Amino acid sequence: MSLTKPLVTDALRAVAGAAPGTNLVSGHHLLWVSACDTYASIKLQYPAPDKAGFDALAARAHAAVLSAATPLGTRVDSFIVEFVNESGAVVHSRRFGGPTGTPQPEPPAPPQAAQQAGHAPIPGLRPQSPGLPGVARIIAVGAGKGGVGKSTVAVNLAVGLARQGQSVGLLDADIYGPSLPTMLGLDDQEVVVHDGLLQPFLAHGARCMTMGKLVPADKPLIWRGPMAHGAFKQLTEQTRWGELDTLVIDLPPGTGDVSLTMAQMLRLTGAIVVCTPQRVAQDDASRAIQMFRQLGVEILGVVENMSTFVGDDGKEYDIFGKGGAQHMAQRMGVPFLGAIPITMSLRQNSDAGDPTANFTGTGRAERALAQALGAMIRQVESQVALASLKQAQTTPKLTIS
């Protein structure tokens, strides 16, 4: 179990506040909490007389969080306490675990590209060398148009691979319309910057990062291409992914800046194109396939999403014309990775942030969904193995003629 904001907040209710009968929460000393994986940090406003008083209170707060986390089997590898004055300026800080004496950055905000759009940068982030050391395979999931379920396929692919024992990362590169905060249930998790790098969220067995947790949920990102380019680069290179078997990247729809940046910046194992059965989606998916080909990226195959609607009674309804994306894949000479039905449970689990439930349902429709997801994941793994054998050793380049 990972540290969470509610766990840390509840633990601090055991620490006495300045006024008799109060604690750090009820006494309104606790101003901010951030928690992710085994890292947590807090901001306090407390009338301690000197640094020794601050340190003593920080130690009590650390002990309270340890006492709450240990019985749950949760580690606390790093706990940072910052004391601020009435204007919000940090007057003292104390770190437990991690590098001693390293200053804790301010609460994170959007990357450098967001600064150009009127937001503050993420303090404490340091440049990282190009590439993604420790990441064995990178799979991009794209689509020619929006609304075809690209994020649904990316999320369930990542969760399915993690359920098979792989170490999996999931990057939400849909800068303008990030879906991961909802689909993975990240509302209660806060962004943490540790040693100059973003710490990925841990959800459903996968390590995740998304722009949706770096900007306010209701804030539109009105960015030109260079800003989106910078945001993708920082999300990719300045996240501490660690050792990964597979990194899944959920791309924005279309053939725009982020897809080009990704293909030129990373050595991809291959790309998956998501398409619904109807003709209008096929036309746009064909353009996405041609884009990846032009960039020299291996096409792992096409997934037909919303292939049918499966009712709770197990009956299938071909709402969008089952098989259209499969025929398109055959026509373009790329592998067909499988057909994913739409079910009531798929919609409910996505809205509830519980994709794991897509693999564990017991009803007729739920079993059909789980079987389809399992078949798709097996096909992806087969194509990844083939692509890894013949992958070119040069970085893809875009040639315009």
Domain layout of the chain by residue ranges: 5-104, 135-390
For residue 117, what pLDDT is reported?
39
Measured distance CA(298)–CA(108) in Å, rounded = 36
What architecture does CATH give domain 135-390? 3-Layer(aba) Sandwich (3.40)
Measured distance CA(5)–CA(40) in Å, rounded = 8
Decide: 26 and 60 in contact? Cβ < 8 Å: no
- Mean pLDDT score, 202-218: 84
Supply the CATH classification number for the domain 5-104. Answer: 3.30.70
- pLDDT over 50 (residue 118): no
Measured distance CA(114)–CA(40) in Å, rounded = 24
- Top pLDDT among 387 and 372 is at 372
The two structure tokens encoding residue 38: 């085994």
For residue 102, what pLDDT is reported?
35
Q: Which of 81-90, 139-148, 269-278 has the lowest mean pLDDT?
A: 81-90
Mean pLDDT across the chain: 83
- Mean pLDDT score, 358-382: 93
Tens-place pLDDT, residues 239-265:
899 999 999 999 888 766 777 778 777
Annotate 356-375 with DSSP letters as a single string: GGGGT--SHHHHHHHHHHHH
The residue behind tokens 């990362």 is 169
Percent residues over pLDDT 70 in the chain? 84
Q: Which residues contact 80 (CB under 8 A, 6 or more apart)?
A: 40, 41, 42, 93, 94, 95, 96, 98, 104
Measured distance CA(381)–CA(333) in Å, rounded = 19
> 5-104 and 135-390 share one CATH topology?
no
Tens-place pLDDT, residues 76-101:
988 889 888 876 677 888 889 854 33
Measured distance CA(171)–CA(241) in Å, rounded = 10
Percent residues over pLDDT 90 in the chain? 42
DSSP conformation class of 102: P
For residue 111, what pLDDT is reported?
43
Tens-place pLDDT, residues 349-361:
999 999 999 999 8
